[in-house]
């Protein structure tokens, strides 16, 4: 029996702030890897349609979480020109309260790690846990220290879990559908600020059978000079950085990880064998982060192919401050990714002094 728990991995405040950089223009310019685009849909629409289709196809799939039912999802768009399409919109009306269940507030990481991740193993396959734990994760805007934590690398260190982080609407649809159909526990890390972003989607993506495989990353933009890995919102930043680097005759290859666990080590390593340089980008804290794992993997597998040390761009190693200028300093910006790529290509010298 399948279940989707819309567990708020970051507790709720309706997000979205006018001060955020609009990345839509950059994304549209990078359309080269999208198959014949016929329509634009927002990420939240993509998620909603995926949930709707999977619930229609399998009566044992149900949705349970805070505000998923009557409130139709806690993250509604605030932009004036966009229609209100919260993620679980319309589902309660269509499927009824038995299948779309509002829950009281409750917080529990222990269950994801100790009950969900390990039960199939401890029972030697007798009992599996086909749950998708989905929700927004990571910093939004101005939500402060306790509401900005990214947990991708924590969950990804647990064997038994699968951890997915979509970026585009295509990712959102394909990965969520696969996650719902998967017989193992999947942690599905959405991003609040991406909910309102629109991306072009092909007919293939809109088809109800469209699924993306778990464990496979996507090359968003091909390049030959430096590999940049990113996931979730940072993919947009990496693409923007690639645009800037192009003007300096540096062609970056941007990889959208899509799947944090399992990590697509072979795609990443193949890319580094081609470019010989690597920059990892993530919003989370640096220590023991996703970039650290990717770096280790590449150093172990392809040390001789590296022409420069691996560069890591991540959130600052401090709790997230509230003040807008400090928050900006605490998160990766496009210029950070550009700078790191230049360093990896020996176009600049690092200036930070160590204590």
Q: Which residues are catalytic?
A: 107, 147
Which of 42, 55 has the CB closer to another protein?
A: 55
**If binding is defined by CB under 8 A, does position 62 make contact with another protein?**
yes
By the rule CB under 8 A, 123 interacts with another protein? yes
> Rule CB under 8 A: which of 1-20 touch another protein?
1
Asked if 347 interacts with another protein (CB under 8 A), we say no
3-class SS of residue 34 = coil
Residue from the set 26, 28, 101, 308 that interacts with another protein by CB under 8 A: 101
- To the nearest whole angstrom, how small is the minimum distance from the Cβ of residue 123 to another protein? 4
Closest C-alpha among 160, 185, 143 to residue 10: 143
* Binder among 31, 57, 84, 122 for another protein (CB under 8 A): 122
- Residue 199's H or E segment, with its range, is strand 198-201
* CA-based nearest residue to 256, from 199, 306, 309: 199
Q: Measure the N-to-C terminal CA separation of the chain; round to a whole number of Å.
A: 55
Q: Is 249 in the site for another protein (CB under 8 A)?
A: no
Helices (H), 99-247: 109-110, 117-122, 152-156, 169-181, 203-206, 233-246
22 binds another protein (CB under 8 A): no
User: According to the binding rule CB under 8 A, does residue 184 interact with another protein?
Assistant: yes
Dist CA 182 CA 177 (whole Å): 9
Burial class (CB in 10 A: 0-12, 13-18, 19+), 332: buried
**Residue 125 touches another protein, criterion: CB under 8 A:** yes
Question: Number of residues in contact with another protein, rule: CB under 8 A?
Answer: 36
Of 76, 162, 173, 312, the residue at the interface with another protein (CB under 8 A) is 162
**Residue 108 binding another protein, by CB under 8 A:** yes
Q: Residue 228's closest CA among 253, 207, 247?
A: 253
Interface contacts to another protein, rule CB under 8 A = 1, 60, 62, 98, 101, 103-104, 106, 108, 110-111, 114-115, 119-128, 130, 159-160, 162, 182-184, 213-215, 262, 265, 300
């Amino acid at each position: 029996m399948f279940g989707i728990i819309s567990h708020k991995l970051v507790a709720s405040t309706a997000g979205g702030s006018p001060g955020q950089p609009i990345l839509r223009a950059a994304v549209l310019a990078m359309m080269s890897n999208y198959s014949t685009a016929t329509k634009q849909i927002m990420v939240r629409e993509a998620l909603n349609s995926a949930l709707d289709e999977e619930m229609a196809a399998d009566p044992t799939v149900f949705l349970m979480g805070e505000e998923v039912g009557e409130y139709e999802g806690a993250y509604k768009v605030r932009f004036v020109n966009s229609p209100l399409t919260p993620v679980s919109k319309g589902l309660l009306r269509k499927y009824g309260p038995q299948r779309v269940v509002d829950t009281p507030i409750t917080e529990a990481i222990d269950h994801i790690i100790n009950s969900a991740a390990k039960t199939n193993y401890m029972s030697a396959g007798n009992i599996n846990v086909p749950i998708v734990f989905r929700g927004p994760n990571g910093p939004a805007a101005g939500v402060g220290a306790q509401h900005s934590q990214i947990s991708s690398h924590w969950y990804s260190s647990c064997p038994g879990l699968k951890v997915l982080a979509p970026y585009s609407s295509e990712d959102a649809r394909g990965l969520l559908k696969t996650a719902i159909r998967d017989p193992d526990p999947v942690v599905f890390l959405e991003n609040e600020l991406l909910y309102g972003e629109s991306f072009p989607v092909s007919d293939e993506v809109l088809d109800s059978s469209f699924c993306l495989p778990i464990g496979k990353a996507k090359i968003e933009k091909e390049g030959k000079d430096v590999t940049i890995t990113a996931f979730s919102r940072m993919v947009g930043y990496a693409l923007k950085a690639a645009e800037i680097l192009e003007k300096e005759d540096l062609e970056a290859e941007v990889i959208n990880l899509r799947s944090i666990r399992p990590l697509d080590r072979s795609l990443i390593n193949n890319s580094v064998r081609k470019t010989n340089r690597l920059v990892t980008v993530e919003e989370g804290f640096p220590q023991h982060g996703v970039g650290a794992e990717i770096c280790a993997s590449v150093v172990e597998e392809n040390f001789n192919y590296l022409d420069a040390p691996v560069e890591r761009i991540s959130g600052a190693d401090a709790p997230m401050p509230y003040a807008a200028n400090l928050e900006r300093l605490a998160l990766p910006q496009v210029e950070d990714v550009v700078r790191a790529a230049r360093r990896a290509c020996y176009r600049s010298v690092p200036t930070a002094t160590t204590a």
